[in-house]
Amino acid sequence: MTSSRRRTTLAALALAIAVILPTTAWYLTGASEANRRARLLETTVVDDLQSALHRDSARLASRLERLRADESVRPFFHYQSITHDPGGAAEGLAVTPSPLAQGVSDPLVWAHFQLNENGVVTLPMVNERFPELSSSENFTRFCSLLAELQSAMEMGLNNPGGYDGGYFEGELFVLRLSEWEQIRDADQVYAAITGRGETPRKPLDGNPGQVVIRVGPLRWHTMVFGSGPTLAALREVETPLGIRIQGFVVAPSGVEQWLGSDNGTEVHFTPSAMLPSDRLSSPVSDTGWWLSADATPLVERARADGRRGIIEFRRIFALGAIAVLFSALAVMVVFFQTDRLARQRGRFAAAAAHELKTPLASLRLYSEMLSEGLGRPEQSKVYAARVASESGRLGRVVSNMLDLARLERGAQIASPQPGDIGAAVTRCIDRIQSGLGDAGLSITTDIEDDLPTADFDFDALCQILDNLLDNAEKYTRAQPDRRAEVTVRAAPDSVTIAVRDNGPGIPHSERRSLFKAFQRPDDDNAPAGLGLGLALARSLARAQGGDLELADAEGGGAVFVLTVAISHH
């Protein structure tokens, strides 16, 4: 027993290690991978958004650069609402609307404007299309802001007297004096119409009959206009009337609308001074402006997806761990069952050898005495009775073993038929009473009269009573008055057959396994046996539609109650 328990303990420990180590490794690696994927989701959306900002900023920079290049070649006189094209007329006043008088055609441009040294703003177009500039209040505010911008710009405005012969970045345009006068006259027409115009100044020195116009390059500047900052492209134009600032304004809302949004994240066009520190950003070339976006919503969604991935892994791990645990328990149950069956087989083999050896030895002894005329002649009948008794004992052992084999094959072991149950019980007891009486067991019967017809198998009934009374004979050997009582009574839907002995009874600790095959008492002084009698008796009872139970016995001993169904035929 100690060796078996040690073997079982070692097997359980080995199985636990085989289950715990891989399961723990699976959880640690799986949890680490799930957390890594969750973090990767967050970093991926951030990286993707940052890449998208870089692409958009490069795309916008290219778009703005093309816009600046296109506007750089625009003649300076286009910034007048009414202008004279030097290439269109040589003599006389020939003025036409500026190409910009129809309004801006590029979605990124909010407006074109021109500012002189006196802070007077002229627009290629002034109408209700631009309400911000059409009202007197807003128009004055716009002029004031541009005047402030002019004072802060370092584009040669500190030299209003004209070109001093130093380096000048930009282009020079030489006009005939007549062409310049027509441009100036067109400007005066605009001044007469709007009340805003230029103050005449001394012409620049140069060749007689010629006027030199110097036009600087367009550069990006940030200016405050209306409700916030805006991006403007400005250039310096030096004319005989003074220095002018020309350019156009880029609307941030137009830029954001032009960019659009591929993933639902709003992209903002912001100057560097107002760039939020907690947002992703990317510079737009040399404009001093940045594209920025708040990655928080995307990160939150990615974090939620990551949490769902972690929860899904834990769910799968829990299901897998439960499956592994049940598998391990099943293996342990199989191992315990196998070990138990091995022990039972060993005990069965020892018990079977003892059960067969004792009657065989008695049979051999008494048969030799009878055959050789040994002993006293008057005891020959006693010797013959002993031979018969031992033969019956061998028959019970062999019958139980054969019935066990039939049960394991699933064969039918009983065929119940209607009959007189009281007479059948009497016949069965008469068959075994002689042998049990010789063994020292006294059997009494109490059979109720007028019992109903019951369904039973006579051979199975006799085998049940034989096993029950054989147990009574074995477990009453320590009693001075060995007896067993068989009582047959009618019940509402059955007939009960109670077999009671005056032995020591059955402990409560052994009652749960009493009807299991190969179960033997742990007491080493208990009578020898195979542990099949009660298991076969219950199986035979149930095969007839009845049952066999152990009942509580008042006054000691054991009481087994066999139930047989009443026939309804």
Share of the chain above pLDDT 90, in %: 26
90 in the same domain as 17: no
pLDDT value at residue 293: 92
Which residue type is seen at 302?
Answer: A
pLDDT value at residue 149: 47
Is 526 within a domain?
yes
90 in the same domain as 56: no
Mean pLDDT lowest for which of 52-56, 167-171, 217-221?
A: 167-171
Residue 188 pLDDT grade (very low, low, confident, very high; cuts 50, 70, 90): low
72-76 contacts at long range (C-beta below 8 A, 24 or more positions apart): 72/217, 72/218, 72/235, 76/173, 76/213, 76/215, 76/237, 76/239, 76/244, 76/246
496 in the same domain as 477: yes
Is 32 within a domain?
yes
427 in the same domain as 329: no
Is 133 within a domain?
yes
Domain boundary among 325, 347, 369: 347
Is 395 within a domain?
no
99 in the same domain as 49: no
pLDDT digits (tens, 9 = 90+) for 87-125: 664 455 566 778 887 777 888 988 888 887 776 777 776
Q: What is the rounded average pLDDT of the residues 324-336? A: 86
The first and second tokens of residue 524, run together, are 């080493």
Share of the chain above pLDDT 70, in %: 70
242 in the same domain as 201: yes
Q: What does pTM read for this prediction?
A: 0.55
State the total domains in the chain: 3
Answer whether 254's CB lies under 8 Å from 67's CB.
Answer: no
Mean pLDDT lowest for which of 102-111, 453-462, 525-534?
A: 525-534
80 in the same domain as 60: no
Q: What are phi and psi of 210, to 5 degrees?
A: -125, 150
pLDDT value at residue 29: 94
CATH (domain of 515) = 3.30.565.10
pLDDT value at residue 38: 93
166 pLDDT more than 50: no
Q: What is the rounded average pLDDT of the residues 200-222? A: 75
Is 333 within a domain?
yes
Tell which residue, 107, 13, 540, 1, has the closest CA to residue 328: 13
Q: What is the rounded average pLDDT of the residues 498-518? A: 81
232 in the same domain as 145: yes
102 in the same domain as 46: no
117 in the same domain as 229: yes
Q: Which of 19-23, 42-46, 171-175, 466-470 has the highest mean pLDDT?
A: 42-46
Outline where 73-176 has alpha helix (H). Answer: 131-134, 136-152
Is 257 within a domain?
no
Residue 470 pLDDT grade (very low, low, confident, very high; cuts 50, 70, 90): confident
Domain boundary among 332, 347, 362: 347
Tell which residue, 256, 267, 271, has the closest CA to residue 221: 271
Task: Supply the mean pLDDT for the chain.
Answer: 78
Answer whether 239's CB lies under 8 Å from 186's CB.
Answer: no
Mean pLDDT lowest for which of 267-276, 336-345, 422-431, 462-471?
A: 336-345
82 in the same domain as 224: yes
Is 172 within a domain?
yes
pLDDT value at residue 143: 56
Residue 132 pLDDT grade (very low, low, confident, very high; cuts 50, 70, 90): very low
Q: Which of 240-254, 299-313, 319-333, 336-350 has the highest mean pLDDT?
A: 299-313
Tell which residue, 287, 238, 347, 336, has the closest CA to residue 60: 287
pLDDT value at residue 96: 76
Is 363 within a domain?
no
309 in the same domain as 183: no
pLDDT value at residue 46: 92
Q: What secondary structure letter does DSSP report for 528?
A: P
Q: Quote the domain boundaries for residue 40.
A: 2-64+297-347
